[in-house]
Structure 1
């Protein structure tokens, strides 16, 4: 297990790549809201207040009128203008996490209009069945399909939004209903989502986002464990490539921790430490057939996932239970959608 000092150093590697305007970029230079927010959360754990505030100011400046963010920005200029629902929903996770870590009510209140606009954008793209389509394009057209990983993350965002709303005395019952319906679809209707099952994220994200917990979650993880987990190295990004990635491994650590499976969570976290660089940053992945880092980069989002996993395992901040405490199971009556039985094939 890495030390508190090593975690702080890893968060510092994120601050080192933050741009002058506050954006935290991918290695190739663009910024997207989801990964940017994840990086801000990691820096919050380490107490890097000034970079975090600049990062949230960046989000406030670039939020669209409809509440979303452009899919990609380079030097503050949108290069892909479509707005993704899971990007928008993650602002609620970031702001709730910041509140848990710092207790800064003034910051929470100042961020609340940004969260409200984002989650209203998200809730407005929910289908009659309950899934939420993955984007609205630059011309206002909604996508024709939903993504399981994205909707799992959106579920967590909606739950965090409800907690923020209740904390601030501004209840948003339509978000809670949207989250309840979404949790049911995630746990019982795999046919609602485009097939991305070769990606490990589609395997564990329903657990990570809190829609699937308990025995169903344990069975879900067991079913594909041999497919994705490479002993001693971490987990594959995709099932058909000899390539483990640090961010996905740490997210699975968070999912295991949320289920109380501390032993496997600690073991996987230890396994992925071969990706650590001497400066505290992390290589994105390792191609274990060729024995080379792939891609040849150290990414801020990987470092962020490491910090959040370490916080969950070590209790470094008051936000360490963020993923553990979101549980959306057993809140929706399956009779409402006409499926008395729960179907989990394909999850």
Structure 2
């Protein structure tokens, strides 16, 4: 086991992440889709995370194929199925869907998964400055965010899943925080292409969602047990830009000792001896976003010890026994580490996509916000 301390200016394209990239490419299917792991499910959010990592490492063709796959399978209402394909159990006693009765299983359509495509497409544009690429994906983005914002309540929170199923009418802090970030990227795409009215409406939607995340905790977890035992509910409001400045520092300080295991990383669940690499990499990004570079670099440095001999990263480590658990090396785990490494080292033109929360400066923003507020009444 070892650590790897990357800093601003360190090189990430000299073979350091070859194993992680190879793992993602190994998992990518002919249609462009990137499942979680061997025999694993496909979902648009984690697929996009892996595609962004491929882009960072110069695998442009594979990244574009991944994004085109989302166009190819988008549903008429702008959404995507949350989960497609088969999965393997994470626990020997847990029974998971195997894909054999797919026609009989009704999946929810997740607003967060629908929104994350904007983050991937904007990330690619930052790398390439390819406006034709944005134009090609614009109809997909427009449909996706029509679906997303149609699930926003007058209180600002965004329902976690489509209304036309029996999914509980509720909102998730982690998912909403991710949507908050994706709305920012969608607004950048719209503004870059000259669609300032939509950019303004999406900024207004982001403002209302951010206000709910900051000031209306009662609008989340209304119909189920709170998810506050999960680290993602702790750091995602910071990662997604809903909390910045002193509020971000206070949020991270509030539970640092509960979730962070020194020298190892961030626990997925507060009461479990399970440090997960993706959560640790995302916490690194959250720390960078609030200006805490020292702890961000340290958090990332601890993750190299969780790589297999082939350079791919294990999903997590059961710290009481010191072994990987489960024995899976997901594409999105590799993706999260690469994205964190890019942000730490400032290696590419997209290095700040997940840590800078600047909005596009557009004319008519106040009018767009007023329209959005009226529509919510």
Instruction: Calculate the TM-score normalised by the size of structure 2.
Output: 0.84
Please show how residues 16-31 of structure 1 align to structure 2 within 5 Å: 16-27=26-37, 28-31=39-42
Aligned counterpart for 1:297 among listed residues 313, 325, 328 = 328
Is it true that 1:151 corresponds to 2:176 in the alignment?
A: yes
Post-superposition Cα deviations, 1:35-66, rounded to whole Å, max 9, x if no partner, equal 00011000010110111121112101111100
CA RMSD for the aligned pairs?
Answer: 2.0
Q: Tell me: higher relative CO, structure 1 or 2? Use CA pairs within 8 A at least 6 residues apart.
A: 2
Please show how residues 312-323 of structure 1 align to structure 2 within 5 Å: 312-323=343-354
Separation in structure 2 between the aligned mates of residue 151 and residue 26 of structure 1, nearest angstrom = 22
Q: Secondary structure at the match of 1:81?
A: coil
Separation in structure 2 between the aligned mates of residue 83 and residue 324 of structure 1, nearest angstrom = 27
Aligned counterpart for 1:203 among listed residues 219, 234, 239 = 234
* 8 Å CA contact 2:125, 2:134 repeated in 1: yes
Q: Tell me: CA distance 1:142–1:285, structure 2 relative to 1, closer, same or farther (3 Å).
A: closer
Q: CA deviation at 1:21?
A: 1.4
19-28 or 109-118, which moves further after superposition? Answer: 19-28
Gap regions ≥5 residues in structure 2: 87-98, 360-364, 371-377
Q: CA deviation at 1:202?
A: 0.1
Corresponding residue of 1:345: none
Post-superposition Cα deviations, 1:164-215, rounded to whole Å, max 9, x if no partner, equal 1000001212211110000111111212111100000000000000111000
Corresponding residue of 1:265: 296
Aligned residues: 330
Post-superposition Cα deviations, 1:136-170, rounded to whole Å, max 9, x if no partner, equal 16x45664100000000000111110111000001
Please show how residues 229-244 of structure 1 align to structure 2 within 5 Å: 229-244=260-275
Please show how residues 124-273 of structure 1 align to structure 2 within 5 Å: 124-136=150-162, 139=164, 143-171=168-196, 172=198, 173-194=200-221, 195-273=226-304
Q: Secondary structure at the match of 2:312?
A: coil
Post-superposition Cα deviations, 1:98-141, rounded to whole Å, max 9, x if no partner, equal 1001112111110111011101100000011000010016x456
Q: CA deviation at 1:10?
A: 2.0
Corresponding residue of 1:306: 337
Separation in structure 2 between the aligned mates of residue 98 and residue 12 of structure 1, nearest angstrom = 20
| Greater fraction strand | 1
Separation in structure 2 between the aligned mates of residue 39 and residue 80 of structure 1, nearest angstrom = 26
Is it true that 1:70 corresponds to 2:81 in the alignment?
A: yes
* 8 Å CA contact 1:228, 1:235 repeated in 2: yes
Separation in structure 2 between the aligned mates of residue 249 and residue 289 of structure 1, nearest angstrom = 18
Q: CA deviation at 1:13?
A: 2.0
6-15 or 21-30, which moves further after superposition? Answer: 6-15
Q: CA deviation at 1:8?
A: 4.5
* 8 Å CA contact 1:210, 1:323 repeated in 2: no
Q: CA deviation at 1:250?
A: 0.3
Aligned counterpart for 1:109 among listed residues 135, 155, 160 = 135
Separation in structure 2 between the aligned mates of residue 164 and residue 318 of structure 1, nearest angstrom = 16
Q: Secondary structure at the match of 1:16?
A: helix
Q: CA deviation at 1:81?
A: 3.1
Instruction: Calculate the TM-score normalised by the size of structure 1.
Output: 0.91
Q: CA deviation at 1:16?
A: 1.5
Q: CA deviation at 1:290?
A: 2.1
Please show how residues 21-60 of structure 1 align to structure 2 within 5 Å: 21-27=31-37, 28-60=39-71
Post-superposition Cα deviations, 1:306-338, rounded to whole Å, max 9, x if no partner, equal 00000000112111001221158xx99xxx9xx
